[in-house]
Amino acid sequence: MDNQFQDIFTFSLGPLEVLANLSVALFCGVIVAILYRATYKGISYSSGYVVSIIMLTLITALVIMVIGNNLARAFGLVGAMSIIRFRTAVKDTQDIMFIFFALALGLACGSGAFAVAITGTFFIGTVIYLGSFLNENSKIRREYLVQVIFKNANQPEAELHKIFANFCKKHKLINIKKIGENDAQLTEYSYYIILKNMNKAGSFASELNKLEGVAKVNVFFDEV
């Protein structure tokens, strides 16, 4: 019984083995961080998150080395780490994927499975990079919501549809709404459109603004 109790506090790894595990974990973590930076396409890029990927790989490897094959030590660490509360919301599914990637590499490095860690880093990393490349070059269809507000109820239909024909693959009137009262009353026309060229959304709005009787133009879009 005494020997089993002492085994809880006995570490079988030597300093060189610990250093080797952490070095491989650092190498894999840096590769994953570089990959994240190269493939990220969102609007909320954080340099702190990139550093966190590296540290997560290292810390996971350290935790696995501490646990080893000792079940009692594993339960002890679970209890100790249960007091930690993570309140940062992860909004991007890609960020979650990289968190699990770093955790898996840390597990492999901490257990000394260097071949698994390095092979997994480059194989999965290549798949992620190719997926990002293919997604970037795929055709993205953007459906716009256009609101054209006229100062009177009589809209210049011929000129309006001519602009739609020049800039849009498709357009559909979805709503007509009166705004204001009496003499100050405006008429809002809402359309769903798909542009021929997404880069000309600004020019499209400018042409609509030039129409006689137009008070305001709003353009909203979403990727579908």
Q: Which residue has the tokens 């190719």?
A: 130
Distance CA 24, CA 26 (A): 5
How high is the pLDDT of residue 188? Answer: 85
How high is the pLDDT of residue 1? Answer: 46
3 state DSSP class of 221: strand
Q: Which two tokens stand for residue 161?
A: 């549809």
Q: Which residues contact 172 (CB under 8 A, 6 or more apart)?
A: 191, 192, 193
Reported residue count of the chain is 224
Walk me through the domains of the chain, giving residue ranges and CATH numbers.
2-137 (no CATH), 142-223 (3.30.70.260)
- Is this model's pTM higher than 0.85 or not? no
List strands edge to edge, sheet with 214-223. Answer: 168-179, 186-195, 142-150, 214-223
DSSP string, 143-201: EEEEEEEESSS---HHHHHHHHHHHEEEEEEEEEEEESSGGG-EEEEEEEEEES-GGGH
How high is the pLDDT of residue 48? Answer: 85
**CA distances (Å), origin 12, targets 66, 70, 147:** 9, 11, 70
How high is the pLDDT of residue 69? Answer: 64
Distance CA 181, CA 166 (A): 34
3 state DSSP class of 72: helix
Q: How many CB atoms lie within 10 A of CB 21?
A: 25
Nearest 5°: CA angle at 25, between 20 and 31?
130
In a structure prediction context, what are the per-residue pLDDT tens digits for the chain, which is 224 residues long?
445 444 444 456 788 988 999 999 999 999 999 999 888 876 567 788 889 999 999 998 988 888 876 666 565 566 555 555 555 566 667 888 898 999 899 989 988 889 999 999 999 999 998 888 776 655 555 678 888 888 766 667 778 888 888 888 888 888 888 877 666 678 888 888 888 887 777 888 888 888 888 888 888 765 54
Listed in sequence order, the DSSP H helices in 68-156 are 71-81, 93-110, 114-137
Strand partners, 183: none
